[in-house]
Structure 1
Amino acid sequence: MNSSALRKVSYGVYVIGSRKGDRFNAQIANTVFQITSEPPTIVVSINKDNLTHEFIKDSKVFTASVLCQDTPLSFIGRLGFKSGRDINKLEGIDYRIGETKAPIVMENAAAYLEAKVVNEIDVGTHTIFVGEVVASDIISEKACLTYEYYQQVKRGTTPRTAPSYIEEKKKAASTMAKYKCLVCGYIYEPEKGDPDSGVKPGTPFEELPDGWVCPVCGADKSQFEKLQ
């Protein structure tokens, strides 16, 4: 089977929020879509190991914020590669409480949806939560971030807990060594550099500034390994 064919399936990039009692959490997800219009119903696929899964199971509500194309990798990294069991992921992030009393992330969002869970489907490592939309609005008219753009242009990575995760196969080496972040899987490619952090294309990993960190998860250079 050629698993690369799965990469041709279209996805977006979303922030999923939920609550458990007075506690809030949010995470990145790429599998959110509408399944009916009357009543308006959406589904989201969440890994069973994620804290957000626990919160949705408990409260039976969730929110989905559609991210804009210019969303910084660091923002996605905080919500997608950090655990709410270790940090308050929403600290310092612009959000508000919706009709479901769950957090709606407004920062870097083009639109949001709020839903109450009406059904759950067990699909192995994940649960598909079916939610009837109870509130929604447009926040920005900016272009929305697709998963293809996130991976190919922003060079973002996919957590192992994501429903679309596919093990990467090693590719032919380039003239300058690439380095992989051991925390999130981000690959530093010297030919492309890291323009958002002021690193010009053509900069070898060894010449990166001492204070440079992974643009996705914030890990320092010591957390990178050379790809063979």
Structure 2
Amino acid sequence: MNPKAMHKISYGMYIVSSVKSGQFNGQIANTAFQTTSEPAMIAVCLNKQNLTHEFVQSSKVFAVSVLSTSTPIEFIGRFGFKSGRDTPKFDGVNHRSGGTGAPIVLDHTIAFVEAEVVDTMDAGTHTVFLGKVVDADVLDPEAEPMTYAYYHAVKGGKSPKTAPTYIKEEPKKQAKAGDKWECTVCGYVYDPAVGDPDGGIKPGTAFEDIPDDWVCPVCGAAKSEFKKLT
């Protein structure tokens, strides 16, 4: 079987969020889809290890925020490569509570859908939650939704191992002059030709010359968590 065939299936980029005991949590998901229009139903697929899965399973409600193509990779990293068990993901993020109580992310969101769970399906490592849509709206009609392909090709993004579409990638050989380093936590690649301007690292800065307290701009991993690409 050729697993690369799975890469040809199209997906989007969303934040699936929920509430439990007054606490909010959310995660990046690429598997969210409308199942029927009458009644309006939507389904999401979440890893059983994720805190958001626990929240949805408990509260039986969730919201899906559709991300725009202009969403910063750091924002995606906040919801995609950090655990709500360690990080309050909604701190500093514009959001509001929906009618179900689930938080709706407003930053970088072009539309949202809010739903109440009516059924579930066990999918091994994941659970598919089927929800009846109770509210939905478009927040930015001019913006384009980010696709999973755009996230990989343009944003240079990777998939966490808990993603339903995760497929282990084969190591890619880099030119000797590249001196690129990869984050072993999220897959972000530091390219000295680009640097990390937002993190105070100018283009042309070798990885070895980066201060030891620098962290991955996507997931916040320490410099020591990087490995040189060969």
1:10 and 1:146 map into 2 onto residues whose CA distance is 7
Name the counterpart of 2:107. 107
SS for the counterpart of 1:69 is coil
2:7 and 2:200 map into 1 onto residues whose CA distance is 30
SS for the counterpart of 1:136 is strand
Residues 15 and 29, structure 1, Cα contact 8 Å, conserved in 2 = yes
SS for the counterpart of 2:78 is helix
Amino acid at match of 1:25: N
Identity over aligned pairs, percent: 56
Gaps of 5+ in 2: none
Name the counterpart of 1:148. 149
Scaled by the length of structure 2, the TM-score of the pair is 0.92
2:16 and 2:116 map into 1 onto residues whose CA distance is 13
Name the counterpart of 1:62. 62
Scaled by the length of structure 1, the TM-score of the pair is 0.92
Gaps of 5+ in 1: none
Residues 26 and 89, structure 1, Cα contact 8 Å, conserved in 2 = yes
Instruction: Give the superposition deviation at 1:144.
Output: 1.1
Name the counterpart of 1:82. 82
Amino acid at match of 2:152: Q
Name the counterpart of 1:179. 181
Counterparts of residues 133-144 of structure 1 (less than 5 Å): 133-140=133-140, 141-144=142-145
Name the counterpart of 1:160. 161
Name the counterpart of 1:215. 217
When the two structures are aligned, how many residues end up with a matched partner? 228
Amino acid at match of 1:110: I
1:138 and 1:9 map into 2 onto residues whose CA distance is 25
Instruction: Give the superposition deviation at 1:177.
Output: 2.6
CA pair 182-172 structure 1, distance change in 2 beyond 3 A: closer
Q: C-alpha root-mean-square deviation of aligned residues, in Å?
A: 1.8
Amino acid at match of 2:181: Y
Amino acid at match of 2:20: K
Amino acid at match of 2:144: A
SS for the counterpart of 1:55 is helix
Name the counterpart of 2:91. 91
CA pair 213-145 structure 1, distance change in 2 beyond 3 A: same
Deviations 1:117-153 (A, max 9, x none): 1110101000000111100001112111111111111
Residues 156 and 216, structure 1, Cα contact 8 Å, conserved in 2 = no
